[in-house]
Amino acid sequence: MMLARLDNEVFFKKAFTDMIVFKAFVKDIIGIDVSPEKIETEKAFQPKLGNINFKYDIFAEDVEKRIVIEIQKVEYDHNFDRFLHYHLQAITEQQRTSEDYTVEKTVYTIVLMTAPYKINAKTREFYRDEVLISSLNPRNLKGVERKIFNHELIYLNPNYKGEDTPTNYRDWLDLIYESIHHPENPNININNKGVKRATEIVSFENISPDEWEQAKIEAAKRKVVELEREMGKDERSIEIAKKLLKRNLSNEDIAEDTGLSLEQIETLRNEENS
């Protein structure tokens, strides 16, 4: 079995817009059964809310259960604020047709990040979590959650394999990771019917010539974006690396969290010690 990389937009959407895969994925990640009439890509609300051009990679609604589900795939370490905006837009957009402030549909946003996290620009903290879940439900002073809203924003990042990650997450995280790093011999759980279906969809023999061409164009666009980001990133990363050196982190850890090469970090270390 040879898999197409699921960090490519073309193959990701090909797999996760399949109704069987979508429903199985949502069941495993969110824990609910859904039956959307259709699954949309590049979904945008018109007229738009605010000044951000929101487009959801994958968007579906289950009318009977009054649930909205969004899936975003990110191949770089984007700041968390952007996806909070996406999540909140799907909530506030419901006010267009509502006579009061009631939000009738529960919104779930799932963000799949295929790149390692970097140091957080606001908190200066490192994040090495496979699964992060944010809920809008309030808690009382004793820490008890009151399930009032139930909306959830879920971040998945397969680059940090946790020993205690439950199987329902593990199967999909492994699928994403293995398709990128070991596509020729992926170690995945094909006993999970949804995962098995996804692997069949993105196996090499099931990719059309047109899809390969689209995927190449998408990969070329990503390289341009990455180049533009790299041009403005080094100066900021060097400043972060200097601060991390003072905390006695290893060159390897600093490289992972800043994106700088080991040679660059060693040079900075020598400069700091001179």
pLDDT, tens digit (0-9, with 9 covering 90-100), for 12-45 = 999 999 999 999 999 999 999 999 999 999 888 7
d(CA 269, CA 223): 30
End position of a domain, from candidates 152, 173, 207 = 207
In a domain, 195, yes or no: yes
pLDDT at 115: 83
Only one residue has tokens 């140091």, namely 119
Range(s) of the domain holding residue 265: 216-274
Is 130 found in the same domain as 70?
Answer: yes
Residue 224 has pLDDT above 80, yes or no: no
Is 225 found in the same domain as 111?
Answer: no
In a domain, 1, yes or no: no
- 146, two tokens: 């009151």
Is 30 found in the same domain as 59?
Answer: yes
Is 82 found in the same domain as 53?
Answer: yes
Number of residues that make up the chain: 274
d(CA 176, CA 113): 10
In a domain, 4, yes or no: no
Residue 75 has pLDDT above 80, yes or no: no
In a domain, 234, yes or no: yes
With contact defined as beta carbons under 8 Å apart, do 239 and 265 qualify?
no
Only one residue has tokens 């060693």, namely 266
End position of a domain, from candidates 184, 207, 230 = 207
In the chain, where do the E strands start and end?
39-43, 56-62, 67-74, 106-113, 131-135, 152-156
End position of a domain, from candidates 207, 230, 263 = 207
pLDDT at 114: 87
pLDDT at 269: 86
pLDDT tens-digit map of 89-139: 888 888 776 566 777 899 999 999 988 877 666 666 778 899 999 999 999
In a domain, 157, yes or no: yes
Residue 228 has pLDDT above 80, yes or no: no
Measured in degrees and rounded to the nearest 5, phi and psi for residue 10 equal -65, -50
Edge-to-edge strands of the sheet including 39-43? 39-43, 56-62, 67-74, 106-113, 152-156, 131-135
**Count of domains for the chain:** 2
Is 199 found in the same domain as 117?
Answer: yes
Is 40 found in the same domain as 159?
Answer: yes
Q: Which residues contact 75 (CB under 8 A, 6 or more apart)?
A: 7, 114, 115, 222
Say what the pTM is: 0.78
Nearest to 241 by CA among 250, 229, 231: 250
pLDDT at 131: 95
Is 269 found in the same domain as 148?
Answer: no
Is 96 found in the same domain as 229?
Answer: no
Q: Which of 26-40, 72-86, 210-224 has the highest mean pLDDT?
A: 26-40
Residue 232 has pLDDT above 60, yes or no: no
Class of residue 14 by CB neighbours under 10 A (exposed 0-12, middle 13-18, buried 19+): buried
Residue 145 has pLDDT above 80, yes or no: yes
Nearest to 93 by CA among 109, 78, 104, 82: 104
